[in-house]
Every structure is written in structure tokens, then in C-alpha cells.
Amino acid sequence: MTNVVLLKPEVNSDMATRRTRLIRAFASERRQQGDVFWLKENAELLGVLASTGVGLDAEALKPLITFHSKGRNMLRDFPQYYRFILSLCLDLEELGLPELHGAALCDEVARAGLEGAELSDLQRAEARRLLRRRAVGPRVGEGALGERLHNFITRSATFAMPNRKAAYELTHIVYYLSDYGRRDPNLSEKALLSLQFTGLLAFLDQDIDLLAEVCAALRFAGVAPARSWENFVADCHRAFRIQVDMNAPVQDDYHQWLVTGWAMQIAGRPPHPQHMSDGALRFKCRSPGQGALRPLVACLSDMGAQRSADWGHMRPHVLSYLGPESHAVLLAAEQSGPHFEEFFEGFARARG
């Protein structure tokens, strides 16, 4: 396994124009600046841009300069959102704004002991990862917290069963251990198997958001995902519709659009050029159709005690149960890599 490095910034004026347009849309045209959903969307957008190694000029970052300068006031007034505030300010400085506030924010967060207010190990890991960007505090994988994180991601049986919360925690632990591709996360073979199992579940379910996150996590761990997974992610990204519609719900598919494009960039695939008109952007994902996960679960449930953990034995029973679309998805999952039989042993939950 090799160390993971940031991608080289692209020298493409059209791409730079689209990024400028995207930052403006997220900063000032979708939500009210400063509310928690605004913080979340903008933190995710800037995190993606920073992790892919782009550099932006002052004009592109202009809509967020005021937020950057007032970050310390935001932290004072809304300490409960410290991870969003810290992430935004640090990424703005990495993307091109002067490094005037990030270090002071990290010091204030550390002095206030805000990490200690977190109940979740995942949130503590995120806080550690942010503080380490200014050399404050321990690394994510150190100490008792690091041991608990590794124990969680190496229990592969957890990830052979549908559990979206656990799946997203797995991918984000890898992001934090790797500092979003800036360092080798040193994952064990069992942790890598957990990612493979999660990817199989996401592919079976045609869950494009989770599958894109798994592909990114595998790349950060120095492992190439299954080609069929990345092809599916790329196809879904290209099928997105981006439109200007002030009346459309703002609870749209922006996150799926963002992470599928991100996964493509991490894989070294040029993103599909999509036109972005002026105005409040909305993102619409085309439904990928029925997957195979739910029919597979129904098949096993119908078989009851007759089901087996042996995929070779179960294969003809399962394939005869599924409809044409689910049948094709299951075959593609089976052929995507060498882990399907081992995955099915845990997934089947057969007795004996």
C-alpha cells in the first residue's frame, strides 16, 4: 500500500469558472448564511475542493471572505457548531485565503475542551482531525480513541449487514484517519474487507451516495475500487440535472452530486462538464432503478430456516427468485471482486 497524495490542481479555465459559480451558489443563493444547514453544505463543498488539491483565486472565494474574518465571533456565539466553523475556516485558508484565523480558532477550541463535549467517538475523531491541521492535540488514531476506532472498522461482520449508520461511520473514520487523502490511514486487511462489504451492500442497493463514499475511502487507503462500482458512480454523476429554480425544495440531491463528482476526481476521471446557470441551483438525481438488496433480503426471509450461508448452494435459488433488473445487479455485484462469497456468509445470517 502506498501513501495517498492530493491530486494536482487542474489548469482549466472552464472548471475554475464552474467552481466559482458553485461557491457563490452555496454561499449566498441556496440558504441563509450562517444557519446550521448552510454551515453543513458549505463545509462539505469546501472539504471536497480542499481534498482534491485545487487552488482558488480571491474572486472565487470572495463570497466567503466575511465568514472567514468573523469565524472567531461565530465560534463564541455558536460553540455547538465548532466543527463546521473550524472546517470552513481551515479549508478556506488551504484553498487560498490568508492563514489569519485557523490557528487561533484551533487554539480556542482546544482551550475550551469542546472535543470533550462530544458523546460520539466519530465526532471526537473529526475534531481531532481538524485540530491536527494546525498541529494541536493528538492524531486521530492515537490513544484509546484510536484503538476504539480501529476495533470498530476491523469488525467486518458488522458491515455484511445493512446498517447505513455504521456504513457512514466506517467511511468517515477512514477519511479522518487519512486526513482526506493527505496521509496513509494504515488500514488492516480486516478494515479493508469492511469497506469491500460496505461497497457490495451499497452496490446491491444502488445507493449511489454511499457507494461514492466507499470508493473515495478505498482510494484514500491506497486500494482501487471495483471498476463496475466507479463506472456506476460516474454514470450517475453524468445523469444529474442542475437547474435554477427558486421554488424547488432546497432539500435536494446536492450531496449525491457532490460526492459522486468527488469520487470521480479522486479516481483521476475528469468530471462531466455540467452547465450552471445564474441563480439558486438545485440538484436532481435520476433514480438508478431497483437494486437487488431488498429482493435478496425478501428471498432469504421467505426461505427461513432452509437458507444457507454457502453462496454456491444458494445462488440458483436466489437468482430464480429475482426479477430481471435485480438479477443483473446481483450478477454485477458477484463479479465485481473476490469478496462476494465471504460477504454472503455474514449477510445470509443462516443458522448452524
Neighbours of 311 (CB within 10 A): 17
Last residue of a domain, one of 288, 322, 343: 288
Shared domain for 228 and 315, answered yes or no, is no
Amino acid, res. 121: D
Please choose, from the candidates 151, 160, 154, the residue with its C-alpha nearest in 3D space to the C-alpha of residue 350. Answer: 160
Residue 1 within any structural domain of the chain: no
Give percent of the chain with pLDDT exceeding 70.
Answer: 96
Residue 5 within any structural domain of the chain: no
Residue 88 within any structural domain of the chain: yes
List the grid coordinates of 163.
446498517
Residue 220 within any structural domain of the chain: yes
Q: Which domain holds residue 161?
A: 13-288
Last residue of a domain, one of 288, 311, 326: 288
Shared domain for 138 and 264, answered yes or no, is yes
- Determine the average pLDDT of the residues in 257-282: 88
Give the pLDDT band (50/70/90) at residue 290: confident
Shared domain for 175 and 303, answered yes or no, is no
Residue 316 within any structural domain of the chain: yes
Is the alpha carbon torsion for 131, 135, 141, 146 positive or negative? negative
**Chain mean pLDDT for the chain:** 93
**DSSP secondary structure of 291-347:** -SHHHHHHHHHHHGGG--S-HHHHHHHHHHHS-HHHHHHHHHHHTT-TTHHHHHHHH
Residue 102 within any structural domain of the chain: yes
Shared domain for 19 and 122, answered yes or no, is yes
Over residues 265-277, the pLDDT tens digits come to 999 998 777 778 8
Q: What domain count does the chain have?
A: 2
* Predicted pLDDT of residue 286: 86
- Determine the average pLDDT of the residues in 232-243: 94
Shared domain for 174 and 316, answered yes or no, is no
Amino acid, res. 296: L
Residue 110 within any structural domain of the chain: yes
Residue 2 within any structural domain of the chain: no
Shared domain for 201 and 306, answered yes or no, is no
Last residue of a domain, one of 288, 311, 333: 288
Shared domain for 274 and 301, answered yes or no, is no
- Determine the average pLDDT of the residues in 236-254: 89
